[in-house]
Structure 1
Amino acid sequence: MKKIGFLSFGHWSPSPQSAARSAKDVLHQSIDLAVAAEDLGVDGAYFRVHHFAQQLASPFPLLAAIGARTSRIEIGTGVIDMRYENPFYMAEDAGAADLISNGRLQLGISRGSPEQVIDGWRYFGYKPEEGQTDGEMGRKHAEVFLDLLKGKGFAQPNPRPMFSNPPGLLRLEPYSEGLRHRIWWGSASNATALWAAKLGMHLQSSTLKQDETGEPFHIQQARQIRLYRQAWREAGHPGLPRVSISRSIFALVNDQDRAYFGHGENDDQIGMIESMRAIFGRTYAAEPDRLIDELRADEAIAEADTLLLTIPNQLGVAYNAHVLETIITHVAPALGWR
């Protein structure tokens, strides 16, 4: 069975057409949608992180709040930009949120995408070392974070502390057992997917990928997944890795759906992100029978064990719950996902 979750970018806009006109709106609606999704039987609630934008940016308070309001649904990110992160503070926040949710956190981290400002991570106090790129800095932060999540002591205790210490070197607290095995790397290239496999992280692959062969998006993404799984096996990690992909998928079952998304064919798009030639996956929008046939032909969806549905969060909780319900009830069973 394929796990199905939603991925929200958490946009807000003061536009009268937006149901999310402020950060407060987005945060409260994100919690409400996660609760509604759990009631529908959806498997995961995931959120994108962007800084300096009218979007969600501080994931851990939101994840903790959702963890306190739900009991089953996986709660995650897709992704946290590690160029901006202090791995030590992040390990404490992640540990607390995971304990509140009783071990349901699935954290997607990555180098991140181009942001709203130039070198935004500099405003957070970080800069690459001599000869290091910002991407390499982000991967270094990730490696430190992963090491901290092992829970091993590393800090010399004060011989005269305010409170008594356990014996030996001290680790960061609160510590959540097992969180290290629920970290995902958001990869836009085959090379970083292989790097993630070697470090024992699960793989997140979005609707954007480096165009490495000129083939259709779903074919390149399926190859990335197969290369990642092979690298995982060669690294000798126990168990099986998980792989998630994200897609914009809309089943057109009423006039409102057709008004929003029934605007004709969608194809892959090619563009440049910084110096990278990128390919962007298509949007799927059709009546359920046709949609099922189109999704059945997507090789990457077939390869992945988790599908994250990107949602138009500014259309409000009720409509997005409808979007999720149509996929769960009209599409997933026919494809063997339920």
Structure 2
Amino acid sequence: MKKIGFLSFGHWTPSPQSQTRSAADALLQSIDLAVAAEELGADGAYFRVHHFARQLSSPFPLLAAVGAKTRRIEIGTGVIDMRYENPLYMAEDAGAADLIAGGRLQLGISRGSPEQVIDGWRYFGYQPGEGRTGADMARQHTEALLGVLQGKGFAQPSPRPMFPNPPGLLRIEPHSEGLRDRIWWGSSSNATAAWAAKLGMNLQSSTLKDDETGEPFHVQQAQQIRAYREAWKEAGHARAPRVSVSRSIFALVNEQDRMYFGRSGQEDDSIGFIDDKTRAIFGRSYAAEPDRLVRQLAQDEAIAEADTLLLTVPNQLGVDYNAHVIESILTLVAPALGWR
């Protein structure tokens, strides 16, 4: 059995060909798609975060709104760039959103991806320390966030507070019990996957990773997941970890599907470079009739290793079409693979 959700980048453009032409459209349609996905029986509604782009950016108002409009579905991110984040303010926002959602938040965080602007986090007021990199700063922010999410007091109370304080040092409020165990790290390498395991974070692995062995993408990603689980075991954590992978998967069941994706299935992995220095492998997409799709997906080693699959959706095609994409996978593909 697998949990199956969707992952939306929340693109918007004023183009007449887009059904998502403004930031308001992207936000409101994201809420509507989460509601529709819950009604269809999907397990998760996840959203990508990009700054300085015509995409979803500040995640917590959206997560809170989705939490208020749904009752069962997991609500998450994939991922928040921690180079931009104030860990304490983020803990407040996350705690509030999680309480509104009744403890359904699943926060994916990471060092981030290639950006729209040069060192965009500098405009947000953040600067790595002497001899440190942006990646170092992201990990520092992450460790601070994990610390305060434990709910332990650390701040010295005022002797003359506006309101009475509980005894002892004060913690970040609102605190949402259990959120610390629902933090995921978006990893592109085996080493950072092992680092995330040691800190007790769940693992998110997307459709690209560092090309570390030259093998097919799904094989390398499966190796990454196994390395993560081994590091988790060595760390001695009490709870079981969770692992998600994301894929572009389209079942071609009508003429509209074939028009959009019938000729666009990328049947092979591709190679590129991140930040002009890191060789990366990009996983293939899947677009085929359901029976052929089942045969193809059965060969994907990383999907087999993961407990959660996130379907990347073409959000600019509108809520109704994206609900159809999700429903096709849930009803025509997942049962044949033993996922449901």
TM superposition score category, shorter chain reference: over 0.9
Tell me how far apart the structure 1 counterparts of residues 108 and 193 of structure 2 sit (CA, whole Å).
13
Match of 1:147 in 2: 147
SS of match in other structure, 1:308: strand
What amino acid sits opposite 1:268 in the alignment? D
Match of 1:290 in 2: 292
Q: What displacement does 1:264 show? A: 5.6
Match of 2:67 in 1: 67
Match of 1:279 in 2: 281
* TM superposition outliers: structure 1 runs of 4+ over 4 Å: none
Match of 1:135 in 2: 135
**1:217-242 Cα distance to aligned partner (Å, 9 max, x none):** 00000000000000000000012100
State whether structure 2 residue 332 is matched by structure 1 residue 330.
Answer: yes
Tell me how far apart the structure 1 counterparts of residues 120 and 263 of structure 2 sit (CA, whole Å).
36
Correspondence list, 1:254-333, <5 A: 254-263=254-263, 265-266=265-266, 267-274=268-275, 275-333=277-335
What amino acid sits opposite 1:307 in the alignment? L
**1:33-87 Cα distance to aligned partner (Å, 9 max, x none):** 0000000000000000000000000100000000000000000000000000000
SS of match in other structure, 2:232: helix
**1:160-179 Cα distance to aligned partner (Å, 9 max, x none):** 11100000000010000000
Match of 1:2 in 2: 2
Q: 1:264 to 1:62 in 2, by over 3 A?
A: closer
What amino acid sits opposite 1:270 in the alignment? I
What amino acid sits opposite 2:212 in the alignment? E
SS of match in other structure, 1:238: coil
Unmatched 5+ stretches in structure 1: none
Match of 2:37 in 1: 37
**1:96-142 Cα distance to aligned partner (Å, 9 max, x none):** 00000000000000000011000000000001100101001001100
Match of 2:166 in 1: 166
Correspondence list, 1:204-243, <5 A: 204-243=204-243
Tell me how far apart the structure 1 counterparts of residues 238 and 62 of structure 2 sit (CA, whole Å).
31
Tell me how far apart the structure 2 counterparts of residues 273 and 43 of structure 1 sit (CA, whole Å).
31
Tell me how far apart the structure 2 counterparts of residues 31 and 127 of structure 1 sit (CA, whole Å).
34
Tell me how far apart the structure 2 counterparts of residues 178 and 288 of structure 1 sit (CA, whole Å).
38
Tell me how far apart the structure 1 counterparts of residues 178 and 79 of structure 2 sit (CA, whole Å).
20
TM-score, normalised to structure 1's length?
Answer: 0.99
Tell me how far apart the structure 1 counterparts of residues 123 and 202 of structure 2 sit (CA, whole Å).
30
Match of 1:13 in 2: 13
What amino acid sits opposite 1:51 in the alignment? H
Match of 1:116 in 2: 116
TM-score, normalised to structure 2's length?
Answer: 0.99
SS of match in other structure, 1:106: strand
- What's the C-alpha RMSD, in Å, of the aligned pairs? 0.5
Tell me how far apart the structure 2 counterparts of residues 253 and 141 of structure 1 sit (CA, whole Å).
45
Q: What displacement does 1:6 show? A: 0.2
What amino acid sits opposite 1:135 in the alignment? A
SS of match in other structure, 2:248: strand
Identity %: 79
Tell me how far apart the structure 1 counterparts of residues 14 and 284 of structure 2 sit (CA, whole Å).
28
Tell me how far apart the structure 2 counterparts of residues 41 and 47 of structure 1 sit (CA, whole Å).
18
Unmatched 5+ stretches in structure 2: none
